Amino acid sequence: MTLGSRRNFHAAALLCAIALPEYAVAAEMGSTDPIKMAMNEWTSQNILAQVAGRLLSKAGYVVEYVTAGSNTQLTPLSAGELTVAMEIWTVNSGPAFEQLVDEGKITIVGPTGLEGKGGWVYPKFAEGLCPGLPKWEALKDCSGVFSTIETYPQGQLIDFPPDWGNTYSAERFTAFGLDFKSVSGGSEGAITAALRSSIAAKKPVLAYFWWPHPIFAELELAHVEMPAWAAECETDPSWGINPSATYDCDERPNAIVIAAWPGMKDKWPRAYEILEQFRIDNDEDMRLAHEVENGAKLGAVADEWMTKHATQWRAWLDHASK
């Protein structure tokens, strides 16, 4: 296997050496084949994909939008059947993503500019029932407030479904000495529905959720405040308030990146460089996502971003064409 691939590599290098002088001008642009942009199952990602797709179209590329599940997209991404996946949350992509990046089967192009984080959230009205929130210490005496018949007498945390990777909530409960139990939420729709129903029924829930997410614009939610995250907190028990436990701190910041098929850099070099430039911030992204979820057309919202940020993206294109 290794011998074969090495031989291929030499052959490819040789071909490049012969081919390069002839295509020196065109190599910047690369292939005219369509770039396949993954459209995942959440709004914010769709906005990023549409905006990035428009950028690449402006640069002269053909872009094809392909719907793809966030779990099922990894295999096609590593095989080149999809080219780009915007907005991959590295902490929650499961071990499969990490493994594919380590093996060099998926390339990380760069950050999206979004700053993601996960953590425990609750509806604002719960502060009346559990005084002391949003400080985590308040939860010590509030397991009854968040208790359900499934977890009684413990409090319930609606956690990420197990297929999104470990949130280490159970470890945090132990480390902080909280009498809570983590229960799988099942899916994004399920957790969202549970939060909405909690506010309608005035029955408090504690859920693991992530932001940026448009739900924070719709519902009055608050985050539980925990000691700031540090790398040692996850490895060194003596760190932090509990000297004998790890994870006695907040959630690790979630890097949100653009991932691509490793062959993209060679096939569409300029497109790759444009995406390296791409940045959007949380507030802007959430504003757009909220518009879409309130009924605006996705394409119109992406067009609006393009007209408003013309100078910004022109600079990215210019930088990439140098």
Site of interaction with another protein (CB under 8 A): 38-39, 41-43, 65-69, 71-76, 79, 81-82, 94-96, 99-100, 148-150, 158, 161-165, 183-194, 196-197, 200-203, 205, 293
Q: How far is the CB of 232 from another protein (least distance, A)?
A: 27
Return the number of the residue (4 or 21) whose C-beta is nearest another protein. Answer: 4
Return the number of the residue (90 or 242) whose C-beta is nearest another protein. Answer: 90
User: What is the rounded distance in angstroms from the CA atom of residue 110 to the CA atom of residue 267?
Assistant: 18
Q: Please choose, from the candidates 108, 32, 42, the residue with its C-alpha nearest in 3D space to the C-alpha of residue 71.
A: 42
Q: Where are the beta strands (DSSP E) in 79-177?
A: 84-89, 107-123, 131-134, 155-159
Q: How far is the CB of 98 from another protein (least distance, A)?
A: 10
Return the number of the residue (88 or 320) whose C-beta is nearest another protein. Answer: 88
Q: How far is the CB of 61 from another protein (least distance, A)?
A: 20
Return the number of the residue (43 or 246) whose C-beta is nearest another protein. Answer: 43
CA 176, 123, 113, 160 dihedral sign is: positive
Return the number of the residue (212 or 240) whose C-beta is nearest another protein. Answer: 212
Q: How far is the CB of 300 from another protein (least distance, A)?
A: 12
For residues 51 and 305, is the Cβ–Cβ distance under 8 A?
yes
Residue 231 one-letter amino acid: A
Q: How far is the CB of 266 from another protein (least distance, A)?
A: 20
CA angle in degrees (0–180, nearest 5) for 237-243-249: 65
Q: How far is the CB of 190 from another protein (least distance, A)?
A: 5
For residues 111 and 134, is the Cβ–Cβ distance under 8 A?
no
Which is it for strands 107-123 and 221-223: parallel, antiparallel or unpaired? antiparallel
DSSP 109-131: EEEEEEEEEEEEEEETTHHHHSE
Q: How far is the CB of 13 from another protein (least distance, A)?
A: 24
Q: Please choose, from the candidates 123, 119, 62, the residue with its C-alpha nearest in 3D space to the C-alpha of residue 254.
A: 119
Q: How far is the CB of 273 from another protein (least distance, A)?
A: 25
Non-local CB neighbours of 68 within 8 Å, separated by 6+ positions: 38, 39, 40, 76, 82, 85
Return the number of the residue (188 or 276) whose C-beta is nearest another protein. Answer: 188
Q: How far is the CB of 99 from another protein (least distance, A)?
A: 7
Return the number of the residue (43 or 242) whose C-beta is nearest another protein. Answer: 43
CA 29, 31, 32, 34 dihedral sign is: negative
Return the number of the residue (6 or 202) whose C-beta is nearest another protein. Answer: 202
Return the number of the residue (4 or 95) whose C-beta is nearest another protein. Answer: 95
Radius of gyration of the chain (CA): 23
- Buried-exposed string 116-155: b where 16+ CB fall within 10 A, e elsewhere: bbbbbbbbeebeeebeebbebbbbeebbebbbeeebeebb
Backbone angles phi, psi at 42, to 5 degrees: -140, 155
First-to-last C-alpha distance (Å) of the chain? 39
